[in-house]
Amino acid sequence: MRKPLIAGNWKMNNTLFQARELINSLRRELIDFEDADILICPPFTALSDANDLLIESNIKLGAQNLYWQEKGAFTGEVSPLMLKDIGCSYVIIGHSERRNIFSETNQDVNRKTKAALSAELTPIICVGEVLDEREAGKTIEVVKKQLEESLADLDEEQILKSVIAYEPVWAIGTGKTATPQQAQEVHKFIRTWLKDKYCIDVSQQIRILYGGSVKPSNIKDLMSEDDVDGGLVGGASLDSASFVEIVKNSV
Ligand code: PGA
């Protein structure tokens, strides 16, 4: 049985003061909640404070990106080791905003995934189609290529330590959620792809999150689908009450 995972992707939001307020509120509201894994991914600037505030908490800490090198002359980048050191256990990789705004390729995603795993960080590897691709009936083709190239050369042990997020780009920040059936269709494809590449056991253990306008009002229906194991939540993770409700409605 896969334990649900609800991850908040704060993106480029929240000053330290706002981050502290939000984390304190989440801690208070979710203190005894054990039925789903809960994760927040603040911007780099808030990670250290977040780690201090989350000590002995059931809320885990993640980052939104990393660079694949261990250290060196890479101005502006952050290494896997630095994230581990600051208390992260997860990292989002290949989010569509990284792919589309910062031109990250599947090959970059693959390098970053391997670097995260080497540092014992759990990568949340994002895939998903843009609207034109969906309308042209190319969703499965696009997601398949992203999976093949982003997960290239990962062995069974590595894939078992990873999480996949399906995020249709047309649903991100638009208020337009995929229907549970649309999400399930792609999630099922991803699980079948994992079964074919690895084996049934592996495919049954890996968590596949849905992301794209997840809200308190739609998480239940999304989670009722067989292959949806949680949510990657953007906008609604910035408000304590709505994130708490999403977490509670996910089980
Ligand atoms: P959204 O973002 O919930 O604001 O649509 C999701 C994401 O980009 O991870």
Whichever domain contains 33, its CATH number is 3.20.20.70
Judge if pTM exceeds 0.95.
yes
- Give the Cα separation of 175 and 212 in Å (integer): 8
* pLDDT value at 175 more than 90: no
- The per-type count for the chain, helices as H runs and strands as E runs, is 12, 8
The tally of domains found in the chain comes to: 1
Q: Whose CA is closest to 54, among 81, 91, 18, 28?
A: 28
**Is the beta carbon of 130 within 6 A of some atom in ligand 1?**
no
21: its two tokens? 């307020």
Query: Cα dihedral sign for 138, 139, 144, 146?
Result: positive
**Residue numbers of the domain that contains 152:** 5-249
Decide if 149 is catalytic. Answer: no
**Is the beta carbon of 109 within 6 A of some atom in ligand 1?**
no
Instruction: Decide: helix, strand or coil at residue 62.
Output: strand
Out of 129, 167, 187, 225, the active site residue is: 167
State what percent of residues in the chain have pLDDT above 90.
97
Position 97 confidence tier, pLDDT thresholds 50, 70, 90:
very high
Angle at 18 between CA 17 and CA 22, to 5 degrees: 120
Q: Which of 232, 243, 246 has most ligand 1 atoms within 8 Å of CB, for mutation? A: 232
Decide if 187 is catalytic. Answer: no
**Is the beta carbon of 235 within 6 A of some atom in ligand 1?**
yes
